[in-house]
Each structure stands twice: as structure tokens, then as C-alpha cells.
Amino acid sequence: MLLSTGSNPEGHGKNAAPGPRDEPLLVADGIAKSFNGVPALRDGRLVLKRGTVHALCGGNGAGKSTFLNIVMGLLHRDEGSIRIDGMAVDFRSAADALRHGVTIITQELSPVPEMTVAENIYLGREPKIGGLVVDFPKMRQAAKRLLDDLEFDVPVGARMRDLSLAQIQLVEIAKALSHRADIVIMDEPTSAIGEHEVHILFNALKRIKARGSAIIYVSHKLTEIFEIADEYTVFRDGRFIESGAISSIDRNHLVTQIVGHEVKTVEKGKPNEGAPILLEVRSLSRGSHFKNISVTVAAGEVLGIYGLLGSGRTEFLETIYGIHAPTAGDVFLDGARVDPGNPKKCIQRGMAMVPEDRKDTGLVLCASIAHNIALSSLALRAVSGFVRRKAEAAATDRMMRLHRIKAASPNVPVETLSGGNQQKVVFARCLLTNPRLLICDEPTRGIDEGSKQEIYAFLREFAAKGNGVLVVSSEAPEILQISDRIAVFRQGRLDHVVDGHETTQQMLTDLAS
């Protein structure tokens, strides 16, 4: 039963049901939720129409996740109503929500790596012969029909561990739809995949739309929202602010609604002509990751590196910073060669790095803000191995104020902070080593718009003091906004270095693909 429904739109109970197509699929109104008397959501509203992608926008603390958790049945609302297809619903659990056709695809995908695509899709509800033995041929057929129907290019027999992240995501979507999900919630689906894969994903979303399902789409990447969404809703401070058709607004309007006030975009001045070279990379190679790359960063300059995921850009940064040893080539800082393969030495020489994945490589999540901020520079504030606690506290305090890190105390674990504040902690840690060259890999990933602008401003300011910045981003508007020059990576090679003041987004994406 279950097997056939998902892959066969005609047999789909809800889609086949009569009723006006333009009646909203989901209407949420006046949703409120408090935790221990502290309201997290005061007035959540959303009207989701069939066959649309609906962007739910808002900064950290806007109440988006609380709202979605209520829609998903993970939290129970205090007030308000939710109707699906005109029927009032009140979900008690995620399974309950799933029965009503609501499913979520989160940032943390959960495939079983050793199982095949088909096995993953039907995990826990395998078709069985005589109720005992798994009917593998039937399962494969059903999975193949499902994927073909969606035009997802994923082999059903492949093991999950052999798939790319984007393919895994497609499998998760197929799995969701095989549950006859009408409403698919996607939370930051593109945070871990590259531009090409985003393209595949968006094509898939378009096909899902065409089937009459609807998607609630959450992303901090505004470019994507303008590309894929049909409608939008903005929450701020736990309240519904406005909604409408995405075609009727522009980027600035959306940012203003999310942040609550006009955001000044960072102005970048031209760097001084003839400024001394700070970083020089000479013919650097590392195996198959990147080959023969030479580039310089002048004092006062922000050099952007633009390239697709897998273009070797992250490995390039990590090799400069000494996490990996190069197979050939050298790195010079202030004209002197840097010992390869030793981050500690790089820090001592004046480098600092904000890694791509702050949870995986940037922060000790279970440790406190203070301990994280001080981590790289402990030796600077220690006497014969003993930490000078007063000096440390003063430095931490200064950094927290400087970067406006919002937390109850410097002693709370960083895992309790929002993404933006966590990223600021990483920046603070890097700055305490008094770096001259700041290396940033996707510094605004998964961060809300307000914090993004603060980070841009900070990077420009840092460079303006005569330091250098090397920044990787896969968001073209971002790289254009902050870089003086842009190095375009393609398949492990540095093809072009273009002027950041004169290049357009279109030129950049053309060069990279």
C-alpha cells in the first residue's frame, strides 16, 4: 500500500480528492508558545498554498524554529490554530504530523551509510513476503518508480555512503514524499552543498511543486530565496511581520523586514596602491586537491576566493594555514617562508583561521565562551604554563564587548549560543592571537542577515588597519560585496583573478562553472 502511493500521483488520496486547488493547504494563525513564561513565539502566522515554495524568513530568535516545531508536532502550542485542507489539526508527535502529510528535511541528514538507497527509503516499513522476509525486488522496483517519477538521478542500488550530499538529500526528499507528504519543511537544505547541487535540488523542488505539494523553505541565503520561492513570510521577535509574493519585493526590502531597520551595506574603499605584500603563495599544490597556485594578498586587502564546492578552495586555505602539508610550493608571510603543516607555527607567525564548519572544526562546543575565546592565545597570557586568569578574563570581556556576543555570562557553553554568536566567538578567538592575516572559510554560513553584515563590516575594518584577509565564499553577492580582488577556483586550479570592484555576479558564476 504505502509503497505504491508515493510513487503514483494518481493514486495519491489527498491530491486526487476534489476541492478547489487554490484553497490554502495549511493555515496557521495566532500561534503562540512560551517556555517557562518567556514567550518564544507570540503570533505566528503562515498561509501555505498548494504548488508553492514558501520562504519563512527571520533572524535568530525570530521564532521560526519554534513555529516549525509546532507545525511538526514536536512542540505543543499554547494558543492559535492550525488547519490543513480546512481541517483543524492538533499534532501530538512528529509521527502524528507525518500521518497528516507534514514532514521535515533537516540540516542533519540521517541515512544509514551501509544500506542501499531503496533500503533507506523504506527503512522500517519494508515490503515483506509473508510478513517476515523482506521483498527486495519489490522494494527496489517501488524505489525506482518513485525516483524516476521525481526525475531524481540516483541509482536505487547504490549504497548511501557512495552518494554525494546532494544525492542523499534527494533520497531524503523522495523518502518524505513516499510518506505521502503534502507539506515538506526544509530547514537550511543548502548549507552543506555546492552551487551545482543546489541547482539539482531546486529542479527537484520545482517538480514537487508541480505535483501539487507545498514546501516551507527556511534559509539564510537570500539569493536562494529569490531564486526558488514563490511567496514569503517574515517573522521578527516572535511575531508575524508580513507576507506576500516574492516577485513583488526586492532584496533590500526583505533584509529590512528581517532585521527591523535599514541595513547599511558595507562600503569598501580601494586599498592603497603599492601596499606591501603580506601573504605570498608560490606554486602551491596538494595532491589532487589543487595544483600550482600562486597568489598574493597585500596589506589592507581582502582577497576573495570564489569557487564551487569541491573546487579545492577549502583545502587551499587549510594548506596555507598548515592543517595539511603541501605536496609542492611555499607560503611566505611578510617575505619569510612559513613552515608547512603546522598551524601552531602559523598562528605564531600571525595567521588566524575561521574554519568552514564552526561546529566541526571551529569550536569546542561543550566548553565555555571564555575558554573558547582564549584557546588559541592561552600561551600569550600564561606564565610558565600557568594561565593568568585576570588577564584572560579581561581579554575575554573585551572581545565579547567588541564583537557584541550576546550571552548570559562568559561561562556558558558555546553550544547554547545562536549560530551568529558562535561565529563571533570563533572570530574573537582568532583575533586574540593578534593576527595580521585572517583566513575565513565561508564565514557567514548559516548566519542571519544582521550578523552577516556585522561580519562584513568587521572584515573590511580589519583589512583597513593594514592587515590582510583571505576569504572563501560560495555566495557570489557576498564575495562581491567584501573583496578587493577575487580569485576564481575551478577544479583545483586558479583560473582568474578579477577586480572585486568591477566584476558582476553573472561574470563570476560564468568564470567558476
Partner 1 sequence: MVANAISNVATGARSKSIAAVGPYLKSFSIVIVFVVISAFFAVANEYFMTWLNWVNLLRQSSINGVLAIGVTFVILTKGIDLSVGSVMALAGMIAASLVTSTNQHFVLWAIVAGLGTGAALGLLNGVIVTAFNVPPFVATLGMLSMARGLTLIFSDGRPVPNLSESFRWIGGGSVAGVPVPVLILFLVFAIGWVVLSYTTFGRYVYAVGGNDKAAKTSGISTRTVIASTYVISGLLAGLAGLVLTSRTTAALPQAGIGYELDAIAAVVIGGTSLAGGRGSLVGTLFGALIIGTINNGMDLMGVSSYYQQLLKGAIIVVAVMLDQFRK
Which of 20, 408, 465, 502 is the binder for partner 1 (CB under 8 A)? 408
C-alpha cell at 372: 573558547
Q: Which of residues 243-282 bind partner 1 (CB under 8 A)?
A: none
Which of 1, 95, 133, 366 is the binder for partner 1 (CB under 8 A)? 366
393 binds partner 1 (CB under 8 A): no
Alpha helices in 264-418 (DSSP H): 313-320, 343-349, 369-374, 389-402
* 84: enclosing H helix or E strand: strand 79-84
Q: How far is the CB of 384 from partner 1 (least distance, A)?
A: 9
The contact mask relative to partner 1 for 414-433 (x = CB under 8 A, - = no) is --x------------x---x
Q: Are strands 53-57 and 214-218 parallel, antiparallel or unpaired?
A: parallel
Q: State which residue, 165 or 378, has the beta carbon closest to partner 1.
A: 378
Q: State which residue, 311 or 376, has the beta carbon closest to partner 1.
A: 376
Q: How far is the CB of 275 from partner 1 (least distance, A)?
A: 27
Packed helices 136-150 and 165-178: angle between N→C axes, nearest 10 degrees: 100
> What is the distance of C-alpha 415 from the center of its chain?
17
Which of 158, 266, 277, 367 is the binder for partner 1 (CB under 8 A)? 367
363 binds partner 1 (CB under 8 A): yes
**DSSP single-letter state for residue 362:** I
> DSSP letters along 434-491, please?
--SEEEEESTTTT--HHHHHHHHHHHHHHHHTT-EEEEEES-HHHHHHH-SEEEEEET
Which of 103, 190, 376, 453 is the binder for partner 1 (CB under 8 A)? 376
382 binds partner 1 (CB under 8 A): yes
Q: How far is the CB of 177 from partner 1 (least distance, A)?
A: 34
Q: How far is the CB of 368 from partner 1 (least distance, A)?
A: 8
The helix/strand/coil state of 238 is coil
Q: State which residue, 44 or 355, has the beta carbon closest to partner 1.
A: 355
Q: State which residue, 206 or 389, has the beta carbon closest to partner 1.
A: 389
Nearest of 255, 258, 236 to residue 63 by alpha carbon: 236
379 binds partner 1 (CB under 8 A): yes
131 binds partner 1 (CB under 8 A): no
391 binds partner 1 (CB under 8 A): no
Packed helices 419-431 and 389-402: angle between N→C axes, nearest 10 degrees: 130
> What is the distance of C-alpha 464 from the center of its chain?
28
55 binds partner 1 (CB under 8 A): no
* 235: enclosing H helix or E strand: strand 231-236
Nearest of 170, 259, 194, 193 to residue 452 by alpha carbon: 259
Q: State which residue, 101 or 355, has the beta carbon closest to partner 1.
A: 355
CA distances from 159 to 105, 114, 146, 154 (A): 20, 6, 17, 10
108 binds partner 1 (CB under 8 A): no
409 binds partner 1 (CB under 8 A): yes
Which of 40, 154, 193, 347 is the binder for partner 1 (CB under 8 A)? 347
Q: How far is the CB of 469 from partner 1 (least distance, A)?
A: 17
Tally of CB atoms within 10 A around 64: 23
Q: State which residue, 158 or 378, has the beta carbon closest to partner 1.
A: 378
Backbone torsions φ then ψ of 153, nearest 5 degrees? -90, 75
38 binds partner 1 (CB under 8 A): no
Q: How far is the CB of 38 from partner 1 (least distance, A)?
A: 13
Nearest of 169, 229, 237 to residue 448 by alpha carbon: 237
312 binds partner 1 (CB under 8 A): no
What are the start-end ranges of the E strands in 176-315?
183-187, 214-218, 231-236, 239-245, 277-286, 290-298, 302-306
Q: How far is the CB of 49 from partner 1 (least distance, A)?
A: 41
Distance of alpha carbon 138 from alpha carbon 10, whole angstroms = 20
Max intra-chain CA distance, the chain: 79
Piece of 95-103, 125-133, 203-211, 404-412 that binds partner 1 (CB under 8 A): 404-412
Q: How far is the CB of 372 from partner 1 (least distance, A)?
A: 8
325 binds partner 1 (CB under 8 A): no
C-alpha cell at 187: 530547514
Backbone torsions φ then ψ of 279, nearest 5 degrees? -115, 135
364 binds partner 1 (CB under 8 A): yes
* 67: enclosing H helix or E strand: helix 64-71
Residue count at the site for partner 1 (CB under 8 A)? 36
Piece of 122-130, 232-240, 295-303, 348-356 that binds partner 1 (CB under 8 A): 348-356
Q: State which residue, 132 or 366, has the beta carbon closest to partner 1.
A: 366
Would you say 316 and 498 are in contact if contact means Cβ atoms under 8 Å apart?
Answer: no
Nearest of 323, 421, 324 to residue 372 by alpha carbon: 421
475 Rama class: left (phi>0) / alpha (psi -120 to 50) / beta: beta
Piece of 4-12, 250-258, 261-269, 353-361 that binds partner 1 (CB under 8 A): 353-361
Q: How far is the CB of 405 from partner 1 (least distance, A)?
A: 15
The residues binding partner 1 (CB under 8 A) are 321, 323, 343-344, 346-348, 353, 355, 360-367, 371, 374-376, 378-379, 382, 385-387, 389, 408-409, 411-413, 416, 429, 433
